[in-house]
Chains A and B, each alone.
Chain A
Amino acid sequence: MIKVALIGNPNTGKTSLFNHLTGLNQKVGNYPGITVDKKTGICKLSASQKATILDLPGTYSLNASSADEKIVIDILNNPSNELYPDVAVVVTDVEQLKRNLLVFTQVKDLEIPTLLVINMADRMKSKGISIDIEQLEAELNTKIVIISSKKQIGIEDVKQAIIAYDSLSIDRCITKEKIKQNTITNPELIETLSAAELKKVQHRETIVRYQFINDILKKSYVVDRTKATDLQAKLDRIFTHKIFGYVIFGLLLLLIFQVIFEWSSVPMDFIDGVFGSLADWTKEVLPKGMLTNLLAEGIIAGLGGIIIFIPQIAFLFFFISILEESGYMSRVVFLMDKIMRRFGLSGKSIVPLISGAACAIPAIMATRNIESWKERLITILVTPFITCSARLPVYAILISLIIPGERVFWFFNWQGITLMLLYLLGFIIALLSAYILHKTLRIESKSYFVVELPKYKVPLFKNVAFTVIEKTKAFVFEAGKIILAISIILWVLASVGVNEKFNNAETIVATAIEANGLNEVQEKTLQYKIQRYEEILLEEAETPLTPQEIDVAITEKTPELRDAVINDEIAALRLENSILGVIGKTIEPVIKPLGYDWKIGIALVSSFAAREVFIGTLATIYSVGSEGDDEEGNTIKAKMQSEVHAKSGKKVFTFASGISLLLFYAFAMQCMSTLAIVKRETNSWKWPMIQLVGMSVIAYVAAFISFQLLN
């Protein structure tokens, strides 16, 4: 296997070439010890030869000023490193050749066989560019391959050139004497020199390299400027306009979110249905017992809880990668920098903040390109405030419970407006806490902001598709394992009893009902179930039913429904006397001032693992999930509506306690996977702990104030 390293500036089509060469044979991992993604792939060069391709992070040069950046230069300097390439492929953009050659000369000076790929050849004619390839090959002492990743021209030539890497010269571009002190061949300087000295050395080196590049391009690279079109400039006049730029961005965001929710709802309902039936099926097919229950209620339900988010995450990354691929995202970064800076963030924070609307995990990983450590840290700390898709089901059920669905304006209704306000609230609190962190954190870090605004281009479908697959995979595996583990733990806690009541739940409930019949709440639930049954009956009937027929059907069905109510009661009694129930009762005094009872307490505790567990837990607590009713949402809602406090008999879910819960979920740090990612990205437990405590305190205070005021 030939080992190939792919190197190049951002926006040169390096990733496109990587995707063309490797197809879906890609792996994203980590370099040991640092948080830089390591992308590798396998490429079939010919019938008999294969190559492993290492896609190094896009960079303008090999100059490093920190340990994270040093990784590339360390690999390329050390022939005994397992990643050390047999051949380096430097990818350049034909329009930015001068700037792109800087990194080429650096790689070449490491005496590695280096192939030069000039991309976007399809643009040469329209831009009036002509290159004397032979001359350039001679000057640079290498082989040049012209490709167009967009039109898939020249990919085979790249493969052939890789096979023939032995014939490439390893002579330097610039002799040792010209740059005596440099950090490319002497990377130890990065650690020994002071920051200011290091910069001076790298500055001098850059000047020498540019002199060399200017000299050779003068002979071989000609641009006929009269042929340049100004479509790009026209686009920028609109998209980066002082006022219209912001209007367009706002409208685009609105459109994207609208579409994400619209498009996701169908596959999400489908997934929900499939996992529901799968759980039922498992219970039917497998012998009754603990293991079957664990599989059906713990593992399958847990898996469903992860997979249900895939549509939203995939669609969000679909749009984000289109925005990035097209070059528009850099314009947003440019537009937003000043506003974000007031709050201690960078223009680049906008990408994580938008991604946070799907899931904080990939969003926090997207902060890596923010240069200033302080700005990056603040972005990491506030991103979980953004309303992520896991909060959505919680919001949806609470809103439908406490906010009337009346229409206010022609297509707005109060429920929709509340949801929008919650999104806005998340964003505002994120900015406010960023501001406070900005004023209080004493971190010295120079805030630089240099962003390339690449040329606009039509996104390549392959690149977009690969990004979506990669990000979705990362979510499923990163968050998935934790959500799954928690679902299992929760199930176990709910299935282990602490006293005799747990074991004798069936007899206790049976005796009580035999003596006094159904109580008020049970009777109400039964009536509701009968009503639902009637509705379904009418919907499914092929011919209209007579009132008598309906009565007969209902009378026939009633004992079954009554049994279901009793079974629910048994499950509820069990839960109350399980470990989970004891936990809920223990924390009840703490959450009482927020308007919650012990059952909500259990849901809150389990939500600290992952928010979306809330509904599942309530379903277990109110024991409605066991029935496998496909109108589950409605059943939970009905249960929640009729739920009363044991002592006072007052309703549990009122406007006051509902708002208090909404605020709690908006602000609280209830996601273990996010904490794990923050730990990895900040390399200490300090920041995730600050995040956990800070956000929980804010959530508690907000919930407390709102409940006390509204109650």
Chain B
Amino acid sequence: MLTVADLKKGEKATILDFSLDSIPLKLIEMGCLPGNEIALVQTTLFNGPLFVTINDSSIAIRKDTAAAIFIEKVV
């Protein structure tokens, strides 16, 4: 299954699910919920954190967190 970590810069996707154990509650509170749109805006060197937008909010998350959010790409 695809995760946010598989997205390329500029790509958009719909959140399908996530593993609750691996993502912080704060991210859920910020709107990371199934059905919402997520887009990858910027990456950093050496697999550093990712800059994503969820519901028009810009949020930085680490790669391991991104890999716990399952998605379906929007074409």
Q: Chain A residues in contact with chain B, CB under 8 A?
A: 60-61, 63, 65, 95-96, 98-99, 102, 196, 199-200, 202-203, 206-207, 210, 233, 236-237, 240-243, 330, 333-335, 337-339, 347, 371, 448-455
Contacts and interface: CB of A to CB of B under 8 A. Distances in A.
Interface of B is mostly: mixed
23 contacts: A63-B29, A95-B56, A98-B31, A99-B29, A202-B25, A203-B20, A203-B25, A233-B41, A236-B58, A240-B44, A242-B43, A242-B44, A334-B49, A334-B51, A335-B48, A347-B60, A371-B24, A449-B62, A450-B65, A452-B57, A452-B58, A452-B59, A454-B58
B62 to A, nearest CB: 5
Given A242-B44, A334-B44, A338-B49, A450 B30 contact: yes
Contact of B29 (A60, A95, A448): A60
Nearest to A214: B35
A378 B20 CA distance: 28
A337 B62 contact: yes
Nearest to B59: A452
B25 A63 contact: yes
Interface of B: 20-21, 24-31, 33, 41-49, 51, 55-62, 65
B60 A450 contact: yes
Given A99-B57, A242-B44, A334-B60, 16 more contacts: A63-B29, A96-B56, A96-B57, A98-B31, A99-B30, A200-B20, A203-B28, A206-B29, A237-B42, A337-B60, A338-B44, A448-B62, A449-B60, A450-B61, A452-B30, A453-B60
Contacts of A237: 42
A462 to B, nearest CB: 25
B58 to A, nearest CB: 4
Nearest to A347: B49
Given A63-B25, A449-B60, A449-B62, A335 B44 contact: yes
Nearest to B63: A338
A450 B24 contact: yes
Nearest to A228: B56
Given A337-B62, A452-B58, A453-B58, A65 B49 contact: no
A102 B29 contact: yes
Contacts of A98: 31, 55
A449 B62 CA distance: 6
Nearest to A241: B42
A199 B56 contact: no
A448 B25 CA distance: 10
Nearest to A233: B41
A450 B54 CA distance: 12
A156 to B, nearest CB: 30
Contact of A449 (B25, B42, B45, B65): B65
A680 to B, nearest CB: 26
Contacts of A242: 43-45
B46 A338 contact: yes
B55 A99 contact: yes
B41 A236 contact: yes
> Chain A CB within 10 Å — which of B21, B24, B26, B55 has the most?
B26
Nearest to A454: B58
B1 to A, nearest CB: 20
Nearest to B52: A453
> Chain A CB within 10 Å — which of B30, B51, B57 has the most?
B57
Nearest to B26: A450
A198 to B, nearest CB: 9
Nearest to A61: B29
A448 B31 CA distance: 17
Contacts of B44: 240, 242, 334-335, 337-338
A96 to B, nearest CB: 6
Contacts of A63: 25, 29
A210 B33 contact: yes
B50 to A, nearest CB: 9
B19 to A, nearest CB: 12
Contacts of B55: 98-99
Contacts of A61: 29
B40 to A, nearest CB: 12
B20 to A, nearest CB: 6
Contacts of A240: 42, 44, 51
A236 B52 CA distance: 12
Nearest to A63: B25
A405 to B, nearest CB: 40
Contacts of B43: 242
A224 to B, nearest CB: 13
A338 B49 CA distance: 7
A210 B33 CA distance: 9
A209 to B, nearest CB: 9
